[in-house]
Structure 1
Amino acid sequence: MVGSDGVEPGTGKPDRAVVRDSLGVGVAVGLSGFAFGVTSVGAGLDLLQTCALSLLVFTGASQFALVGALAAGGNPFTAAAGAFFLGTRNAFYGLRLSQLLALPRAVRPFAAHWVIDETAAVSLAQPDRRAARIGFTVTGLTLYVLWNLTTLLGALGAEAIGDTAAWGLDAAGPAVFLALLAPMLRTATERAVAGLAVLLGLGFLPVLPAGVPVLVAALAAPAVLWLKGRGEAGR
């Protein structure tokens, strides 16, 4: 007999194991908020603006993309556009998680704020709906609290030391961004998209205004998918 979530009874994962794995992900990634706080203040944002980004945006890759573009002298609207397009992937996570978690309607608007790479990965890795709900909740809560706390600490620290570039901390943001991105590149297509995006971004960096190369790099995905489709059609 199969349950409503498509899993046979008795094959679920123990709650303790789900909580342990979720806490591990939440703590490991949540500590990266320190690097964001340092990077954001180094890019010219103040303490309140930095903390507001973590509280209201709460998606690390988009936050790092935004402050990175601003640090390079980019137009705020261009920087925001790049961050927005990078964050649209969370909408696709939401479509899948809405079916998997089947949360009450009143809870969904609040849960949507926690739909990010880490909560989606933990939830989708679970064998049944109960474990997925626990994983989503524990990962989201742990990550949200730690990310915002370490963002505050990083921002306070950056304000205290002054020029972050003099300490080499201006490289913290890009380093953490790459660390978050690298584990997601599992297939040849994903690696091809990433490689082409890097080439486009670096190639147009000297000739386009700051922030615009990020938008150009977004063309890598449709380009690779188009070439892949042509290759498969020609077989």
Structure 2
Amino acid sequence: MSIADNIRHFEQELAGTNCRLVVVTKTHPVEKLQEAYTAGARLFGENKVQELVAKQPELPADIEWHLIGHLQTNKVKYIAPFVHTIQSIDSLKLLQEIDKQAIKNNRVLNGLLQFHIAEEETKFGLSLSEAEEILQSEAFRALRNVQLTGVMGVATNTDDESQLRREFRELRSYFDLLKSRYFADQLAFREISMGMSADYALAIEEGSTLIRVGSAIFGARNYGTH
């Protein structure tokens, strides 16, 4: 199937749900991303700042760019002028830097708190207690130009559906708790970013509002060019 066919397939799958498709662009060339755009995709997610900065000017201006990979504070300034949402916020220090760079660019940047839900130690993310510590801090309340809009998590790379459901439900429970305790009056806090090419169907069933899909749209990644 072509990239356009795959985009249409996901649009049909998501019809009638509260979930949107984030097209993951990691390692894929601008030509392929343009095909996805032409087929109707407008929400693109990139893992690496360097790739995001290179691709963004080459593509239409109405794309909503999400940074979905781990973000170092010293790289926020490169994406602050145009990024829509940073899905991988895992520290107060990073939140403060995003706020600082957003102010410099006269913008409000959206962010998701990334939680560690997988069994693998390599994944980044907060625990619930760490997230609450951030949200209860004076430093967080002092932020002006960063808006938290939900939560994100990366599930374990496994075929075990029961484990995946358990991890997705854990993230959903974190969202519900944070929503009720800290964001009850904020309509913008509504995103649960979970599910990728291999497990998105389960994630949608468990309440995902953003699935991050690359290989199921573009085919296997080509790492040979890097």
Q: TM-score range by the shorter chain?
A: under 0.3
TM-score by length of 2: 0.22
If asked which structure has higher relative contact order (CA below 8 Å, sep 6+), I would say 1
Return the TM-score normalized by structure 1: 0.21
More helix by share: 1
Greater share of strand: 2
